[in-house]
Structure 1
Amino acid sequence: MAYPFEKELIDLAEYDLAVRERLSAEGKLARGYHPEMEAVHKSNAQRLREIISEIGFPTISKVGQKASDAAWLIIQHSIGEPKFMKECYRMMMENSHDINPKNRAYLHDRIHVFQGKPQKYGTQLIAGGIPFPVEDKENLNREREEVNLLPLSEKEINQIPDLEEIPEIDSRDQEYISWRKKVGWM
């Protein structure tokens, strides 16, 4: 069955990933938010806004699983637009029965991390592949299982630092702090 906007959403997400892959291979993603990547993210978010205004949130029943996941990727990468990300999270909550619960978990955590708050599901990582601080280490795996995420090992959970140990949070990374303020995360 073909859904409205299915191919377009998938194409937008695939273009995002292709640009990311190319810039990464060229060594251009190592420091800061690359202008070309930012332009792709803004353009994709704008088109997704237009689609949402036409059909509502792109749930599985409206656009299919792959396109719904593609819409989530577009939202997840629209890091320069906090209001948009938060509004999409609200829509995901309203449609939680018709979206991939992992996508909602990832977006929740991403928003919290950009706000400098602990995450709930441990989906966002810092250097070394260690999760950014979490709200509740003891109940982390229970939260993850509720959204179909694999549990973390006890060793992985014990490696999760406290919030005050993260350089982005305690102002050691002024460029990142300035960017977060400029786009409205802080």
Structure 2
Amino acid sequence: MATDWKSIGEEIQHMMREDTAVREVLASTGELFQGYAPAMEKVHLKHAQHLKTLIDEHGFPTISKVGKDAAIDAMRLILHAISWPEFMRSMEAVTVNLAKTGEVPKDYVARLMDRIRFYEGRKQIYGTNADWDDNGIMRITDVEDESKLNARRAEMDLPPLESLVITPLDGDFHPADPKKRHEEYVAWTLKVGWRTVAMP
């Protein structure tokens, strides 16, 4: 029986709509900004598990199979599976190869590669992740060979970065205690398996 990619694409987009709806509710209550909200994690894992089942049974939902919008949503669901390191890592190799043939958007693959490195405590390649530093400044976390960063970003269809600093000290969701927040974040990376030892 042939794979019904139209239905699979619709399933993927439905999951992303649910993800967005839950995020909006949690943002309105403030819960979204107090660590990783359990309700958000539950939705992320549910969707990632369903997406993995679809991929295992039918293959990756590429642009030529489900269209660009659904392929992007599939990448977004992968990016949101932050408490399932094994899944995200397994998808990196798959999507890097697909990006070479234009079957998944390069910019989302760059974000996946960086996000894995970010949670593992390694330097990013493309500078797509930011975090609060101990001074309460939101900035891009460490990147490899900063002088060639924008050249690498251009290769992955990402716009240039003019500054690694994202926002000054003020802001609606500035953490009251950035150092404590970072310690909690590192503890979380150890708990879910991104890291085996604590890093700065």
Q: State whether TM-score is above 0.5.
A: yes
Unmatched 5+ residue regions in structure 1? 161-169
Once the two structures are superposed, what CA deviation does each residue of 1:45-75 show, in whole Å capped at 9, x if it has no partner?
A: 0100111012211111121111110110110
Paired position in structure 2 for 1:145: 154
Paired position in structure 2 for 1:117: 122
Change (3 A) 1:138 1:46: same
Q: Tell me whether 1:82 sits opposite 2:91 in the alignment.
A: no
Secondary structure of the residue that 1:126 maps to in structure 2?
A: strand
- What is the Cα-based RMSD across aligned positions, in Å? 1.8
Quote the Cα distance in structure 2 between the aligned partners of 1:126 and 1:68: 27
Q: Tell me whether 1:103 sits opposite 2:140 in the alignment.
A: no
Q: Which stretch of the first structure deviates more once superposed, 171-180 or 102-111?
A: 171-180
Quote the Cα distance in structure 2 between the aligned partners of 1:50 and 1:44: 10
Paired position in structure 1 for 2:193: 184
Unmatched 5+ residue regions in structure 2? 167-178, 196-200
Change (3 A) 1:172 1:11: closer
Counterpart of 2:67 in structure 1: which amino acid? Answer: G
**How big is the shift at 1:130?**
2.4
Quote the Cα distance in structure 1 between the aligned partners of 2:181 and 2:29: 27
Q: Tell me whether 1:53 sits opposite 2:56 in the alignment.
A: yes
Quote the Cα distance in structure 2 between the aligned partners of 1:171 and 1:107: 26
Paired position in structure 1 for 2:32: 29
Contact 1:118–1:134 (CA under 8 A) maintained in structure 2:
yes
Paired position in structure 2 for 1:164: none
Once the two structures are superposed, what CA deviation does each residue of 1:14-62 show, in whole Å capped at 9, x if it has no partner?
A: 1111111110111001221111001001100010011101221111112
Paired position in structure 2 for 1:3: 6
Contact 2:48–2:78 (CA under 8 A) maintained in structure 1:
yes
Quote the Cα distance in structure 2 between the aligned partners of 1:138 and 1:9: 38
**How big is the shift at 1:137?**
0.9
**How big is the shift at 1:172?**
7.3
Quote the Cα distance in structure 2 between the aligned partners of 1:32 and 1:171: 11
Quote the Cα distance in structure 2 between the aligned partners of 1:116 and 1:148: 24
Secondary structure of the residue that 1:32 maps to in structure 2?
A: coil
Quote the Cα distance in structure 2 between the aligned partners of 1:25 and 1:37: 13
Q: Which stretch of the first structure deviates more once superposed, 68-77 or 125-134?
A: 125-134
**Percent of residue pairs bearing the same amino acid type:** 39
Contact 1:144–1:150 (CA under 8 A) maintained in structure 2:
yes
Paired position in structure 1 for 2:44: 41
Query: TM-score when scaled to structure 2?
Result: 0.81
